[in-house]
Structure 1
Amino acid sequence: MILVSSCLAGLNVRYNGTHCLDERIRDLVAKKEAMTVCPEVLGGLSTPREPAEIIGGSGEDVLDGKAKIVSCSGIDVTEQFIKGAYLALEKAQQLGATMIVLKENSPSCGSTHIYDGTFSGKIVAGTGVTAALLKRNGLEVISESEFIERGL
């Protein structure tokens, strides 16, 4: 079983109420070979919602209490992101997920890159909170581009 970011399956759960449909991922969900998850929605955030970025580090730093996640208007949403990450981990474990495909650049789901915390559109190396937690728990986490590159 593969766990995938809901937005990659065509669900309108991104911060701006849109999706990032990948037809292969949607087809896997339709065939019940994959299940969807949106950590931000699981954590209690609405759709749409203000964009949020990690300030002061990466997802690992957020989990360690060394960084936080704030919306573009300065609202601290760290608690919701952490709650969503733990609920996504629980879902992955319950499903026995062998791979998790997450949306790159997201403060939750970025597996190798995230926004730099300045709301300027600059992308830096780093992981989102959910990706970091899943990796810490020994799960294979890849981005949608890596999923495509592997031809899965």
Structure 2
Amino acid sequence: MKEKILVSACLLGEKLRYDGGGYDLPEIQRLKEKYELIPMCPEVLGGLSVPRDPAEIKDGFILTVNGNDVTKNFEDGAQITLKYCLQNGITKAVLKARSPSCGKDIIYDGTHTKKLIEGHGVTCALLLENDIEVYTESEIGGL
């Protein structure tokens, strides 16, 4: 039986990005050789639609480009994702870089100007706090 690994659903080609897009990344598909891939989108799990306005973290809140506060949606989605991982023995995740949900180490700064700052997305931070290893799509070489 293969180890389960959580993967941002958009990285598996599911059209769940804020703009209704997804990614087709061969390196993610190669993970299927070693792992059972469990797709999840914390933003959709938190009740946000596809497509949706882009959002970024600013001063502890997640605000859309139009100024709508979607913090609760992001927090709810993070909690659902963590609960699933804990209930299913998932100890690793591959999440979408720079996302306000899934970003690891570097995220957008909240100005919606593509400027990057140090920080984690809401789901990434919660998983890390609970000893779940997090990788981005550019860090999966070691998996």
TM-score, shorter chain, exceeding 0.5: yes
Residue of 28, 33, 37 corresponding to 2:36: 33
Stretches of structure 2 that go unaligned for 5 or more consecutive residues are: none
Q: Which digits, 9 at most, give the CA deviation of each residue in 1:91-143, with x for residues without a partner?
A: 11122112100000000000111000000001111100000000111111111
Q: What is the deviation of 1:17?
A: 0.3
SS at match of 2:93: strand
The aligned residue for residue 58 of structure 2 is: 55
Separation of aligned partners in 1, 2:46 and 2:32: 22
Match of 2:139 in 1: 146
More strand by share: 2
Query: Any residues of structure 2 matched to 1:20-99 within 5 Å, and which?
Result: 20-28=23-31, 33-56=36-59, 67-99=60-92
The root-mean-square deviation of aligned C-alpha atoms, in Å, is 1.6
CA distance in 2 between counterparts of 1:45 and 1:30 reads: 32
**C-alpha contact (below 8 Å) 1:5/1:37 kept by paired residues:** yes
More helix by share: 1
Could you give the per-residue CA deviations for residues 42-81 of structure 1, whole angstroms, max 9, x where no partner exists? 000000000000011xxxxxxxxxx100000000000000
Which residue among 100, 108, 118 is the counterpart of 2:101?
108
2-structure distance, mates of 1:16, 1:102? 17
Please say which of residues 24-33 and 88-97 is displaced more in the overlay. Answer: 24-33
Q: Which amino acid aligns with 1:44?
A: G
Deviating above 2 A after TM superposition, structure 1's stretches of 4 or more consecutive aligned residues are 23-32
> For this pair of structures, how many residues does the alignment match?
140
Unaligned 5+ runs, structure 1: 57-66
Aligned to 1:13: 16
Cα distance change, pair 8–30 in 1 and its aligned pair in 2 (3 A): farther
State the shift of 1:28 in Å: 4.0
**Counterpart-to-counterpart distance in 2, 1:98 and 1:21:** 24
Partner of 1:134: 127
The SS at the match of 1:145 is: coil
What TM-score, normalized by structure 1, do the two folds share? Answer: 0.86
Mapped contact 2:5–2:35 kept (Cα < 8 A):
no
Give identity over the alignment, percent: 49
